[in-house]
Structure 1
Amino acid sequence: MSRIRLKQIANFKQLDKELFGSSLLRNTDVVAFDVFDTLLFRRCDADDVQLGVARALGHSLGNDESSDIAILRVREQAYFDAAAENEFKGFDKDAHLDDINLAWVKRLAPNEPGRWSDLAAVARESKIRYEHWACFPNPATVPILQRLAGTGKRAVFVSDMYLGEAIVSDLLTANGLRQFFSAGYVSGDIALTKSSGRLFQHVLEKEGIDGSRMLHIGDNPHADGRRAIEHGIKAIVVRERDIPLKRMRFDHNYALQDRRWLGYNAASFASAASLQQVEPELHTIGRDVLGPPFSAFIHGLAEYCMRIRPDAVYFLSREGLLLKDLYDQLIATLQLPLPSGGYLCTSRLNAAVAAMRSFGWREITLKLGSHNKPTVSSIFSPLGFSRDELASIAGKCGISDIDQKFIIDSPTIARLVAHPILQDRAIRLGQNARNALHEYLEKRGFFNARSVVLVDVGWAGQIQEGLKIALSDSPAPIINVYYLGANQLAGERRRSGLNIRAYLADMEQYDWLGSATFEFVELFEIPSRALHGTVLGHNQGEPLFASEDSAERTPEHSDEPRIALLQEGICEYMLHYARYAAITKTSADHAKTYAINIVARIVRFPRRSELFFFSSLNHIANFGSSEHLQLAKVSSILSGKKFLDAVNNSHWRQGAAALGLGRFGALLLSLFQAPRISRTLPSQIEEQRIHDGASIAAWNPFSPLPHGFETDVRNRSFVLLEQGREASLHKTYRSPLTPFELAMLHLGLRATNLYLSVKKLNQFPADLLPLRAWLWREIYIRLPVHGKFGRLLRRVKRWITA
C-alpha cells in the first residue's frame, strides 16, 4: 500500500494516455470517477447557484434582494446543523439536500411550520433547476468513457455531494454520461465522504473488491488523491480546473461589489462549454460578439414591458423575427407574465407609401437619407413608374436624364414633384397601401390592443412614424417604440410626439461606447435579417415580399448560410444568458455595460477575421431601389487620396481604416471625428421616466398568432446552417474582449477626451469596464492565495478595487 504514489496530471488530454498508454488498467476491475469538476463542469461559481437558490427562497418569503446574502448565511448554519446531527450518530459531517433545506426553512420561518414543506420544495426545485442549467459535460471524458466501456472494466461515480445519487444521476443523464456507469455513490445519501476516506471504504465493500483492484480519478489532491491511496486505491488527480475555478470565484466575488461585472459573468456562462473546443468561427462571433448586445437589448425591452404593460408586443420585419425569438426565450426562462411576441410585416418603403397623401417634402427626405448618391430615378422609385414612364414625365418638366444627381432646390425638380400625373399616382398608391395595411393589421389583432410596443433595431423612427400617420384616420392603439439605438432624427421625431425609447445607444444620451452602434449600424441590421425578402405591401391581409429573384434580393442569398450561423450563435447566447439572469437576478442595466464595451471593441478595434467577414457582407438599400451599399472599401494606403475616399464612402469607416492601417488606423479615425460629433450632438436629455401602464386588473395582454410562413423561414434556416458550417472556418475559442483590447478602449477614450479638451469641446462619458479589476483578476488566478503571499495579494486587491 505504501508503494502507491499519487499521480497528478495537468489536464484531461493527458488522462487518455495515462489510462490506455500504460499498465494502469491491467490489474484494475473498477474505475471510479469524481463527478463535479471531473465529469461535469459548471459554467459559473458554485456560490452563484447557491445564492440564486437563496434569492428564490427569499422571494417566496416576501423578502427583497437586500436579504439574499443573509439568507445564504442562514443556509450555511442549516448545513452545519444537519451535518452535525449525522456526525453525532457516528457518520461524517455531511447531509442530504432535503435535510439541509428543511433545517434552512425552519431557521428562516420558525413560527410558520405550515409553510416548511412548501418552502423546502422551492429550495429543492430551484437548486436542481439551476444545477441543470449550470452543468455541462467535460468533453475530454466522453471519448475516455467510450473507450473504457470497450475494455469491460466496471465504471462507477463517487462524489462528495449533498445532492444525493438520484439528483447526481439525473445531472449525468441530462449531459449524456450516466449510461457509462454501473453504479454511483454519493456522500449525501449515507453521510460518508471521500474527504474522510470512509466513502471509499463503503465503495470497496459494495463493489466487493480490494483497493488494489480500483482506480479513482478526480480533481482534489486530498479527497480524490491521498484519501484514496490510504485505502490502497490507485489515484489520478487532474488539475485542469484549478485556474478556471479561481477565475469563477473571483468573478462571483467581484460581481457582488460591482454589479456591472455580471454582464461579463453572463458572457463567460454562455461560452464556458466552448473553451478549448473547435467551433465554426461565425457561430462563435454570433454567440460571443453579437449575443451580448442583442440579449441586453431584449432584456431591456422585457423590463420596459413589465413597467408599461402593453397588450401586445410586435417585432418589425425583417430584423424582428430573430428579436421575437430572443424575446420569447427570455420571458419564458425568466417566467415573466408578458405576452409572447408577434411578427409584424412592414418596411420603410411600405410604411412610407401607406403614409403618403401626396408626394412632397417628407417623401423626398426619406429617400434622400437612404442613398449615397441620390438620382431623380431613385428618389421617385417608390411611385413604381417604369423608367420610360418617368423619363417621359421628367422630360416635360425639363429633365433630360433621370439618372442625373437629384438637386433639391432645382426648379425642374420642383416642376416634376408638382406634376399632376405624379401626384395622382402618389395619392392612389397611398390610399391603396393604407387600406391593405389596415386589413393586415386587423388580421394580426393590432386593433384589439389598447397599447402596443413596436420593436426594431432602430435608428430614425421612419417606419413607426409612417404607421402612425397611416393610421391617423381611424382609432388605433397607443404606439410605443423600443429601439436598440436612436439617432438624431429619432430624437426629432421623439420631440414631435413619437414615443421612442432606445436602450444601447441614444444620441440624446450620448455615451462614447454605445455611440459606436451608429458608426456601423449594419453590424445589427444584417445579422438579424430574416431569410425572406423585404415587405413591399399587403394583399388580402397577407404580406407581399420581394421575389427571391429580384435585383434587391438576389445578392443576399450568398450571405444567408453565414447569417444563419450567426443567428444560431446569438440564440445560443440568449439561452444561457436568460438562465444566468434567472439564477443571479441580473438586470438589463447590469448586462448593458459589458454589451456596449463589446460593441465599441468590434466597431472601433476589429480583429482581422471580423473585419474581413463583416466587410464582405452584402447590404441593399431596400427602399424602392436595389442600390448596393459598400460596408468597408479596401484601398491601398500608398495613394492617400484614394484611401481617404474609400474610408469616407464606406458605411463602416473604422472598418475601412482598419483594412488599410490596422487597429491603429481605426483608433485615429475615431479620434479625429470626435470634434465633429461633439459639435453636432443634440441637446442631451435625462433618461426618460417610464410611466406605469395599465393596472393589473385592466391589463389585457394577448399573443398574436404567428404567420404561416414563419415556420418555413425557420426550416430553411436549418438547411442553410449546414451549408454555413461547411463554409465557415473552425477555430478554438478566444475571449471576445481581452485585457489588451479593454486597455485599447480605455486608451481610446482618454485620447479622445484629451483631444476634445484641447479643442475646448465637451468630453464624452463612457461606461467602461474597470481595467484595474481585470488586471487583478489575471494576477489572482495565476498566483497562490495562501500564506504571507496571499495576505500581500489581498492588500493589493483592496487597493485595486477601491
Structure 2
Amino acid sequence: MMNTKILPHQLAMALEDAPQDLKILTLDCFDTLIWRNVHAPAHVFGDLGENGPTPQQRIWAETHARSRAALKEGRNEVLIEQIYGALLPGHEGEVHARGVAAELEAEARHCYGFAPTVALMRAAKARGLEIAIVSDTYLSRDQLRALIASAAGEDVAGLIDHFFCSSEYGVSKSEGLFKHVLKKTGVSPSRILHIGDNPKADLTPAQALGINAIHLVQFSETEQQRLRLEASVGSIINAGGARQAPCFQLHRAPLALAVPTLEDPAEALGLTTLGPVLHAFATWVAEEAEEFAKDGGKTHLLFLMRDGYLPQCVFEALGTGLPTHALEISRFTATAASFQDEATISEHLEMELECTDIAAIAKQLLFTEQEAKAIIRKLPSRGRSQAFAAAVQAPVNLRKILERSKAFAERLAHYVKVQVAPAPGDKLMLVDLGYNGTVQDKAEPVLRQALGVDVSGRYLVLREQKMGRFDKKGLIDGRHYASTALEAFCANVAVMEQLCTAAQGSVVDYDAQGRAIRAGNSIKARQSDVREAVQQGAVRYVAEREKAFVRLPSSDSAETRRQSAAAILARLMFLPLPSELAVLESFEHDVNLGTDSTVKLFDTDIAAQGLKRRGLFYMKGAERMYLPAELRGQGLSASLTLFTQHCFGLDLKYVDFCDRAIDLPIIVADGTDILTEKVKAYPTHDGYFMAAIPVGECRFAIGVQFGRLYDWVQVESAQFVPVSTFLSDKAARGDEPIDALPSLEGMEQVAPHLMRCEDQAAFMMVPPPVLANKQAMMLTVVFRPIAERQPSPVAASASPQVAPGAGAR
C-alpha cells in the first residue's frame, strides 16, 4: 500500500512505491512544482509597481470577481483578466491587459522550480509516463506554461503533456477538476498518481475518485511557525513607505528539503536560522570585494576572530575562490594599541567608567595586576570613578600607558604583517558581525601608519555610536533601517556572538614572532560541542541551497537577501522558538575584555519574577544578555511589546501599562500617629498587582489590610526601593531592592506565598528598613488576589432582603 504523505527530500523517489502500470503523473503546480520566494502568494502583490494596485486592492478585486462569477455564471473560478476587470472598472481591455502582464511579470520574478519535483518529473519521463499539471489557478493554460518555463526552464515545461487549470474548467480540484482529468485522458484512476501540497485540494478529492494521491508535506508545524513568525517580524522590521513590500523568504526551499533529515536540534538551529543569515552576509561581502577589485590593487579579506569564525566558514563554503584570513584582533588588543596621547586615554575613560568595572579598565590601560591593585586600593569610597581617572592620568601613569601602548601597537602591526603579508597600498577588508566597528576604529590608524594600507569594515549589523570617518558598511545598517531598529538588533547581539565564535580564548597580546597570545577559554566543553553542531548546520545550509533550486528566481538579489536575513535575525533575537531555547539554555557569554568573566545568556526565572513585580515596564530597564529569550513562555504579547518598543523606540512609561487598579487599604504608622489610607495597586502580569507606597526616609511602618478585600491572597514580594530609581529606565548600582521583613496579623501562610485571611481585620505589617544613608524609599507590595472576601452568613441574615411590595406578617 502506498504512503499518502511524502516529504520534499523524498520526492525524487516517489515512483518507487507506485503501481507498476502507472500511466500518468499529475502534479499540483504552486508549492509543488513552482514555489515562490515569499511567505504567502498574496505577498507577490506587493511588487506590482508604484502605479499598480496595493495588495489589499488586488485581494478585494479577486473576491469581487469570484462573487460576480458565482452570481452570474454559477461558478467560483475566474480568469485573471476577470480579476483586473473588477479591479479597474470602466477601463478598456488594453488597460486590463497591462495589469495582467505586470502581475505575470511579478510572478515570474518570484517563482522558481523546486529541484526535487523536477527530478521526479525526469524520472517519470524515463519510465515512459505522461505528466499533467492540475492546478487551482486563475491563470490560463498558456499563462501557466509560460510561468513554468520562466521559473524552471523551457526544458522543464517541455516535460508536461497536459494542463488542467480550474479557471478554464470552472471548477476547483475539490469541486470536480479531477473528473475532467479522467475524462480528457481516458486513463483509469488506478493508473494515475497525483502529488500536491494541499490535502483538501490534492489528497481527498483525488482519492475519492480512486486516483493514487500523495500529500506533499512542505513543512512541519514547527517550521510553519518559524516562517510565520519571520514573516510577521519582517513586516515590522522592513516596514516603510506607502506600499507593503513582499516578505521575502529565500530559504523556504532549502529548509523544506533539509530539515526533515536533521536529528540534532542544534544543527537544525544552525541550518534554519544562522545559515540563511550568514549566506546573505557572505554573498554581500563577496560582492563588496568584487567592487573593491575594480579599483585595482589587492584586497585581503580578514575575518576578525573570534566572532568572525562562522562567517568565514560560510563564506568559504560558497566557493567564490577569494582567499580569506582568520585575523585575531579583539576589542581588548585593538584598544590596547590605540593610546597615542592623553586625549585618546581620556576618551576611553569617558566611554567606559560608567559601565565597566574599574579593575577591567586598569587592565585595558595596560597596568600590571600589582599596579592596578595599588591604584584601586587608594581610591575613596565615594567618587571612585573620578578619582581613578585622575590617578591614571597622573604624569607617571600616562607615561606608562603611552609607552606600553606604542609597543603593543608595534606587536599588533607585526602580527598582521606576518599573517597577511600586505603590500603598501593594499586594501584590508575587516569582516565581522559588528555592531559598532570598535576594533576597526582602534586598529585602523595603527595599521595605516605602520603598514601603509587602506582599511575598510564590512559587518553583518552596523550601528555606529559616532559619525565615523572610516569606511564601514553593514548588510543591515542605517542605509536601510531606522536607528531604533538597529538598536533592536544590537540589543541582543550576544546570541549571535556565542553561536558564531571560535572555540578558543580571546587574543590578549602578540609575541615577537607575530603569533597571537590567547587567554584561557572559559566556555564549558558542552557549550562548545553544541555550538559546533550549530555551526555545522549553518555551513550545511550553503550546500542544501544549491540542491533546492533548478534556477534561482530573478528577484534573488542582494536587496531581497538583506530583507530576508533581517527578518530571520530579528525573529531569532525577539521570538526564539522553544526548541531553540532548549539548545541555548546552558549557554554563557564571555564579555571579551581581556578577562575570563562570563554571564548566563538568559534566565527565564528572572523574567518571570520581573514581570510579576514590575509588569511589562520591567523590560525597559532590564539589562540582560538575551532578554527576549527570558520572556518566551510569558505570552506573545510580552515578546511583541518588547520588540515593537525596541524597533520603533516607543516612549512607553509605567503608567501606560496601568489600565485598571485596585484600591488597597493600608495603615500608616510613624511611632506616634496611625492613619488609614488607600493606595492604588496596578496590574503587572499574570493576574498580579503592585502597590507602591511612599515611606519617606524609612520613617513609616505600613500595614497592608488584605483581609478587608480577600479571603485568600498570594503575596509575591514586599521590597523597599529608592524613589529616585523606582520609575527610572535604568537602575543605578547600589540601588537594588531591599527585601522587607513583614509580620502577619490574622493571616496564615498555608503554602509559599499563599495566605489565608481569617477575617476582615487581617493585615500584613511591614516595618521600615534600617539604612546607613537616609533617602526617600518606596515599599512595593506585589500580590495576586485568589478569593475575594464574601459577606458572612450572619451578616447576610441580619439584613434580610424583602421583595418589593411585600408586607410584614
TM-score, scaled relative to structure 1: 0.51
Q: Which amino acid is 1:341 matched to?
A: T
- Offset at 1:271? 0.8
Change beyond 3 A, Cα 1:372–1:278? farther
Of the three residues 482, 501, 516, the one matched with 2:473 is: 501
1:66 corresponds in structure 2 to: none
Q: Provide the secondary structure at the position in 2 that maps to 1:440.
A: helix
SS at match of 1:263: coil
Matching of residue 409 in structure 1 with residue 348 in structure 2:
no
Alpha carbons of structure 1 residues 231 and 513: separation in structure 2 relative to 1, 3 Å: same
575-584 or 472-481, larger mean C-alpha shift: 575-584
Matches of 1:595 and 1:297 in 2, distance apart?
Answer: 8
- How far 1:560 moved relative to its partner? 1.4
What SS does the corresponding residue of 1:619 show, helix, strand or coil? strand
Map 1:196-215; keep pairs closer than 5 Å: none
- Provide the C-alpha distance between the structure 1 equivalents of 2:536 and 2:368, rounded to a whole number of angstroms: 40
Q: Report the CA distance shift for 1:460/1:10 in structure 2 as closer, same or farther (over 3 A).
A: same
Instruction: Write the deviation string for residues 405-427 of structure 1: whole angstroms up to 9, x where unpaired.
Output: 984423x5412342625742551
Larger strand share, 1 or 2:
2
Distance across 1 between alignment mates of 2:486 and 2:525: 31
Structure 1 match to 2:316: 328
Is residue 340 from structure 1 mapped to residue 323 from structure 2 by the alignment? yes
Quick check: which has more Rg, 1 or 2? 2
State whether structure 2 residue 637 is matched by structure 1 residue 664.
yes
Query: Are residues 1:619 and 2:603 paired?
Result: no
Q: Contact 1:352 / 1:463 at 8 angstroms: preserved in 2?
A: yes
- In structure 2, give the amino acid aligned to 1:428: R
Q: Distance in 2 between matches of 1:664 and 1:534?
A: 38
Paired residue secondary structure (2:386): coil
- 1:425-436 aligned at under 5 Å gives the runs 426-436=402-412
Deviation digits for residues 258-310 of structure 1 (CA, Å, limit 9, x no counterpart): 9965831x211211214655632222222222233322222322332333326
* 2:446 corresponds to: 470
Do the aligned partners of residues 576 and 361 (structure 1) sit closer, same or farther apart at CA in structure 2, a change above 3 Å counting? farther
Q: What one-letter code is carried by the residue in structure 2 that aligns with 1:603? A: M
What's the counterpart of residue 307 of structure 2? 319
Do 1:632 and 1:653's aligned partners in 2 also have CA atoms closer than 8 Å? Answer: yes
Map residues 753-792 of structure 1 onto 2, 5 A cutoff: none
Q: Once the 2 structures are TM-superposed, how far is the Cα of residue 463 of structure 1 from its aligned partner? A: 0.8
User: Cα gap change, 1:47/1:462 in structure 2, threshold over 3 Å: closer, same or farther?
Assistant: closer
Aligned to 2:280: 296
Report matched runs for 1:269-418 at 5 Å. Answer: 269-274=253-258, 279-309=263-293, 311-330=299-318, 332=320, 339-357=322-340, 360=342, 362-363=344-345, 366=348, 374-383=356-365, 385=367, 387-395=369-377, 398-399=378-379, 407-410=384-387, 412-418=388-394
Deviations 1:348-389 (A, max 9, x none): 11212222336x564576578679853321111135555444
Distance, in Å, in 1 between the alignment partners of 2:423 and 2:574 is 43
2: CA distance between counterparts of 1:296 and 1:405? Answer: 50
2:424/2:451 contact within 8 Å kept: no
Equivalent runs, 1:101-180 vs 2, <5 Å: 157-160=127-130
Deviations 1:128-176 (A, max 9, x none): xx989666988xx9xxx9xxxxxxxxx98344479xxxxxxxxxxxxxx
- Distance of 2:553 and 2:480 partners within structure 1: 34
User: 1:267: which partner in 2?
Assistant: 251
Report the equivalent of 1:537: 509
* From 478, 492, 496, the counterpart of 1:524: 496
> What residue in structure 1 maps to residue 530 of structure 2?
562
Structure number with higher relative contact order (C-alpha < 8 Å, ≥ 6 residues apart): 1
- Give 2:304's aligned amino acid: L
C-alpha displacement of 1:464: 0.8
1:62 aligned partner: none
Matched AA of 1:377: A
Q: Any unmatched runs of 5+ in structure 2?
A: 11-16, 38-111, 133-154, 164-176, 203-214, 220-242, 653-809
Q: Distance in 2 between matches of 1:455 and 1:342?
A: 10
Would the alpha carbon gap of residues 389 and 654 (structure 1) be closer, same or farther in structure 2, given more than 3 Å must change?
A: closer
Structure 2 residue aligned with 1:776: none
Instruction: Choose the corresponding residue for 1:586, options 517, 535, 556.
Output: 556
Whether the 8 Å CA contact 2:330–2:439 is kept in 1: the answer is: yes
Give 1:376's aligned amino acid. Answer: I
Match of 1:651 in 2: 624
Deviations along 1:103-129, whole A, 9 cap, x unmatched?
xxxxxxxxxxxxxxxxxxxxxxxxxxx
Partner of 1:45: 34
Deviation at 1:329, TM superposition (A): 3.4
1:311, CA displacement in angstroms? 2.2
List alignment gaps of at least 5 residues for structure 1: 1-6, 17-23, 49-129, 146-154, 163-187, 197-219, 249-257, 333-337, 680-802
1:11–1:239 CA contact under 8 A, matched in 2: no
TM-score normalised by structure 2 residue count: 0.50
The count of corresponding residues between Structure 1 and Structure 2 is 488
Change (3 A) 1:472 1:657: same
Q: Deviations over 1:72-130 (max 9, x none)?
A: xxxxxxxxxxxxxxxxxxxxxxxxxxxxxxxxxxxxxxxxxxxxxxxxxxxxxxxxxx9
CA distance in 2, matches of 1:46, 1:416: 63
Per-residue CA deviations over 1:313-351 (Å, capped at 9, x if unaligned) read: 22111122321232233363xxxxx73322222111121
Amino acid at match of 1:399: L
More deviation, 366-375/584-593: 366-375
User: Given the superposition, is the C-alpha separation of residues 42 and 668 from structure 1 closer, same or farther in structure 2, using an over 3 Å criterion?
Assistant: closer
**Aligned match for 1:610, one of 569, 576, 580:** 580
Task: Determine helix, strand or coil for the equivalent of 2:303.
Answer: strand
Q: Which of 5, 9, 12 does residue 11 from structure 1 map onto? A: 5
Secondary structure of the residue aligned to 1:271 is: helix
CA deviation digits over 1:215-272, x for unaligned, max 9? xxxxx97999889995898565555577788999xxxxxxxxx9965831x2112112
CA distance in 2 between counterparts of 1:321 and 1:608 reads 26
Structure 1 letter corresponding to 2:531: I
CA RMSD of aligned residues (A): 5.1
3-state DSSP of counterpart to 1:622: coil
Shift of 1:535: 1.8
Distance 2:348 2:582 in 1: 31
**CA distance change for structure 1 residues 507 and 527 in 2, over 3 Å: closer, same or farther?**
farther
- Give the secondary structure class of the aligned counterpart of 1:315: strand
Q: Which secondary structure does the structure 1 equivalent of 2:431 belong to?
A: strand
Shift of 1:454: 1.4
The DSSP-based 3-state class of the residue aligned with 1:312 is strand
Shift of 1:649: 4.5
Where in structure 2 are the equivalents of 1:476-495 lying within 5 Å? Answer: 476-489=452-465, 491-492=466-467, 494=468
Q: Secondary structure at the match of 1:458?
A: strand
> Quick one: structure 1 residues 135 and 386, their matched pair in 2 at CA, closer, same or farther if it must change by over 3 Å?
farther
Distance in 1 (CA, whole Å) between partners of 2:588 and 2:602 is 11
Seq. identity, %: 15
